[in-house]
């Protein structure tokens, strides 16, 4: 007979919990990417050129601000869920997210003031998203019996991961109509989710009131913020170098982050109720599952940006698409990756409920490494069916990994620590995505810097551009070229400017700004950088597979105070 709880039997309630939290996670992850494709329309709407060097700060923080705040706060919000109620913090997240989405649509300012307004509200929106992400998995784990959790968490996690790619298409569709729709679309859905959550979700955990670990919260947040800010400055040029990783500013930021994390580690061992539950790392399945989460996100996080640049900067223009149309079509042509995830995620979740998480999670990472290898074999001007097949394989591999791994991590946790443990796992995932962007962009920039200046100089001079002008453009930071392609601008037209362009013959103007010049110019140097980035991704996937293979099934006893760990056994 089903167990009654708060007016709903467990059989009915678990599906309500899954559907509502999946909607919340979808919104939270979708908004992490929906602005990427919409960025040109957003900046045109507020009359700000994001490719002017002085404005690169606004461009980077429009991309990364949402991810940074969710990475910084998610552990604390998961811990608060354990202390004051997971459903309470989750519901609050829906409210914050919806209100911030509404306020984002009414930006009345232009220029840098308008961009600052959007960045601040995106950070607030990220706070709401972090409340949702920090507690969704714990709410599902509380609602489902252990023999169905892998399936339920798999559906939730795969829909969340897929939201990153769905956001690309949605942003590309809505932004050309009106850039405000990119934010407005979340308001009615968020309002529906908020009302539904407040009416139907039940608190099935047992909150344990405890003092707030202020030292831990502050030092951890400060360390993560400094680390994330160092990434945004590391991929920008500094002091004549194509990247800023060796600049005094970035070195100081990284040193400050290291000091903050050291103080955090010391503080967590001395407070009675630590925010970061370090004893959870004694659980083998949690430790290696979280390590696998981090490494898989490192491999996946930068992939989306590389594929966007590949499609928008090279392949789509070569196949007759104007640069202005490439953002939307880049999202559409990447859909096989999302479809692969949506197929493999629930299927692997169902099967791993019967056969265990380890073979699927490990196999998924091995398949992902092989998929990145196949991407490296493709020419820059690939045939789309082959490209789509590789993307689908990557999606299937990531889906095979994500569902069992997430469920394995959550099943390894004692009931009273699911909020904190789930938040810790999600923090590693979100932080890895930001770090991955920095790593992939850095490898790509270094690859371009080696050969692009000479290639660009020769190509411009061959079409009548004066040597001095061609020399200036050839020595622009490669990140400027990447951002131009990423945002769907015609790179040569935008970087050369109307004055020098109009001084050329009509034939040379048409050649330089046509769909073939820039793709042909950049394809060789781009492939060098792409191979370096994908080689790194392969290594990350293989190490993630090894970590997943080493997971063991923990044996623990729960006490009123929390966790008592005993030696783990292998499965």
Average pLDDT along the chain: 82
Strand partners, 238: 241
- pLDDT, residue 103, reads 96
Query: Hey, is 5 helix, strand or coil?
Result: strand
Residue 398 tokens read as: 């990531």
221-268, pLDDT tens digit by residue? 888 888 878 887 887 777 777 788 888 999 999 999 999 989 988 888
Among 164-173, 282-291, 435-444, 488-497, which stretch is predicted with the lowest mean pLDDT?
A: 488-497
- pLDDT, residue 561, reads 39
Cα–Cα distance, 405 to 261 (Å, whole number):
26
Alpha carbon 80 to chain centroid distance? 24
- pLDDT, residue 152, reads 83
Cα–Cα distance, 367 to 373 (Å, whole number):
10
φ, ψ (nearest 5 deg) of residue 284: -60, -45
Q: Select from 194, 201, 200 the least CA-distant residue to 85.
A: 201
Residue 563 inside a domain? The answer is no
Query: Is the distance from CB of 33 to CB of 165 less than 8 angstroms?
Result: yes
Cα–Cα distance, 483 to 491 (Å, whole number):
9
- Same structural domain for residues 371 and 516? no
37-76, pLDDT tens digit by residue? 788 889 889 998 877 767 777 877 887 788 778 777 887 8
Q: Evaluate if pTM is beyond 0.85.
A: no
Residues 6+ apart with CB under 8 A from 405: 289, 292, 293, 296, 357, 361, 364, 548
Residue 413 tokens read as: 């946790």
- Same structural domain for residues 260 and 114? no
Q: Select from 308, 264, 296 the least CA-distant residue to 158.
A: 296
- pLDDT, residue 191, reads 95
Residue 74 inside a domain? The answer is yes
- Same structural domain for residues 204 and 125? yes
Cα–Cα distance, 420 to 338 (Å, whole number):
29
Give residue 233's domain range.
213-274
Cα–Cα distance, 127 to 119 (Å, whole number):
13
Residue 291 inside a domain? The answer is yes
- Same structural domain for residues 96 and 232? no
- Same structural domain for residues 541 and 427? yes
Query: Is the distance from CB of 259 to CB of 220 less than 8 angstroms?
Result: no
What's the rounded mean pLDDT across residues 16-40? 87
Query: Is the distance from CB of 176 to CB of 39 less than 8 angstroms?
Result: no
- Same structural domain for residues 148 and 172? yes
Alpha carbon 306 to chain centroid distance? 13
Element (H, E) at 9: strand 8-9
Residue 81 pLDDT more than 90? no
- Same structural domain for residues 478 and 358? no
Q: Select from 176, 170, 172, 173 the least CA-distant residue to 45.
A: 176
- pLDDT, residue 562, reads 43
φ, ψ (nearest 5 deg) of residue 271: -95, 155
- Residue 263's CB is within 10 A of a number of other CB atoms, namely 17
- pLDDT, residue 10, reads 59
- pLDDT, residue 21, reads 94
What's the rounded mean pLDDT across residues 348-367? 81
- Same structural domain for residues 333 and 366? yes
- pLDDT, residue 553, reads 54
Residue 124 inside a domain? The answer is yes
Q: How many domains does the chain have?
A: 3
**Residue 85's domain is classified under what CATH number?**
1.20.1250.20
Phi-psi region of 417 (alpha: psi -120 to 50; beta: other; left: phi over 0): alpha
Q: pLDDT grade, residue 554 (50/70/90)?
A: very low
DSSP-derived secondary structure for 465-525: --HHHHHHHHTS-HHHHHHHHHTT--HHHHHH-HHHHHTS-HHHHHHHHSTTHHHHHHHHH
Query: Is the distance from CB of 133 to CB of 424 less than 8 angstroms?
Result: no
Q: Select from 387, 384, 380 the least CA-distant residue to 521.
A: 380
φ, ψ (nearest 5 deg) of residue 550: -85, 0
127-167, pLDDT tens digit by residue? 999 899 889 988 998 888 877 877 787 788 778 777 877 88
Strand partners, 555: 566
Residue 54 inside a domain? The answer is yes
Query: Is the distance from CB of 461 to CB of 467 less than 8 angstroms?
Result: yes
Residues 6+ apart with CB under 8 A from 52: none
Residue 569 inside a domain? The answer is no
- Same structural domain for residues 199 and 57? yes
Cα–Cα distance, 312 to 52 (Å, whole number):
20
Residue 84 inside a domain? The answer is yes
Residues 6+ apart with CB under 8 A from 217: 76, 275
Residue 327 inside a domain? The answer is yes
DSSP conformational letter for 122: H
- Same structural domain for residues 260 and 313? no
The listed range with the strongest mean pLDDT (255-259, 287-291, 514-518) is 255-259
- Same structural domain for residues 63 and 173? yes
380-393, pLDDT tens digit by residue? 889 999 999 999 99
- pLDDT, residue 551, reads 75
Residue 497 tokens read as: 């400017």
Cα–Cα distance, 397 to 42 (Å, whole number):
34
- Same structural domain for residues 119 and 222? no
Q: pLDDT grade, residue 8 (50/70/90)?
A: low
Query: Is the distance from CB of 51 to CB of 483 less than 8 angstroms?
Result: yes
- Please state, for a pLDDT cut of 90, what percent of the chain lies above it: 23
Give the start-end residues of each E strand in 66-182: none
DSSP-derived secondary structure for 203-227: --S--------HHHHHHHHHHHHHH
């Amino acid at each position: 007979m089903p167990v009654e709880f708060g007016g709903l039997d467990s059989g009915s309630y678990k599906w309500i919990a899954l559907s509502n939290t999946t909607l919340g996670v979808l919104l939270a992850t979708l908004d992490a990417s929906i602005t990427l494709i919409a960025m040109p329309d957003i900046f045109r709407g507020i009359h700000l050129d994001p490719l002017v060097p002085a404005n690169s700060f606004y461009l980077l923080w429009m991309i990364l601000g949402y991810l940074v705040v969710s990475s910084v706060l998610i552990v604390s919000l998961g811990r608060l869920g354990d202390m004051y109620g997971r459903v309470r913090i989750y519901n609050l997240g829906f409210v914050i997210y919806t209100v911030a989405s509404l306020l984002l649509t009414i930006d009345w300012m232009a220029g840098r003031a308008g961009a600052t307004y959007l960045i601040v509200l995106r950070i607030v929106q990220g706070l709401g998203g972090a409340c949702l992400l920090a507690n969704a998995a714990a709410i599902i784990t509380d609602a489902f019996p252990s023999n169905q959790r892998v399936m339920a968490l798999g559906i939730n996690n795969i829909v969340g991961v897929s939201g990153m790619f769905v956001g690309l298409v949605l942003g590309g569709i809505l932004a050309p109509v009106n850039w405000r729709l990119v934010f407005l679309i979340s308001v009615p859905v968020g309002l529906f989710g908020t009302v539904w959550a407040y009416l139907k979700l039940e608190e099935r955990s047992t909150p344990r009131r405890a003092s707030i670990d202020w030292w831990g919260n502050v030092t951890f947040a400060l360390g993560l913020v400094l680390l994330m800010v160092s990434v945004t400055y590391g991929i920008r040029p500094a002091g004549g170098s194509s990247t800023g990783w060796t600049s005094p500013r970035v070195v100081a930021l990284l040193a400050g982050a290291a000091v903050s994390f050291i103080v955090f580690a010391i503080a967590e061992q001395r407070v009675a109720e630590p925010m970061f539950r370090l004893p959870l790392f004694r659980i083998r399945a949690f430790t290696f599952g979280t390590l696998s989460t981090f490494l898989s996100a490192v491999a996946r996080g930068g992939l989306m940006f590389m594929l966007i640049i590949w499609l928008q900067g090279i392949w789509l223009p070569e196949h007759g698409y104007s640069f202005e149309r490439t953002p939307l079509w880049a999202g559409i042509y990447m859909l096989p990756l999302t479809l692969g995830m949506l197929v493999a995620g629930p299927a692997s979740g169902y099967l791993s409920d019967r056969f265990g998480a380890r073979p699927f999670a490990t196999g998924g990472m091995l398949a992902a490494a092989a998929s990145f290898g196949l991407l490296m074999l493709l020419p820059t001007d690939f045939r789309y069916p082959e490209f789509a097949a590789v993307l689908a394989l990557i999606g299937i591999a990531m889906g095979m990994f994500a569902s069992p791994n997430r469920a394995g991590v959550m099943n390894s946790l004692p009931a009273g620590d699911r909020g904190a443990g789930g938040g810790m796992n999600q923090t590693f995932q979100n932080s890895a995505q930001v770090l991955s962007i920095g790593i992939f962009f850095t490898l790509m920039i270094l690859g371009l810097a080696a050969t692009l200046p000479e290639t660009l100089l020769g190509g411009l001079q061959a079409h009548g551009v004066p040597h001095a002008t061609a020399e200036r453009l050839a020595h622009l930071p490669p990140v400027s070229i990447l951002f131009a392609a990423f945002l769907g601008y015609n790179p040569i037209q935008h970087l050369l400017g109307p004055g020098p362009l109009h001084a050329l013959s009509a034939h040379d103007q048409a050649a330089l700004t046509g769909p073939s010049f820039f793709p042909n110019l950049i394809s060789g140097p781009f492939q060098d950088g792409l191979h370096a980035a994908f080689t790194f991704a392969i290594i990350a996937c293989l190490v993630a597979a090894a970590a997943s293979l080493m997971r063991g099934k923990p044996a623990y006893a729960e006490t009123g105070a929390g966790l008592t760990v005993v030696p783990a056994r292998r499965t």
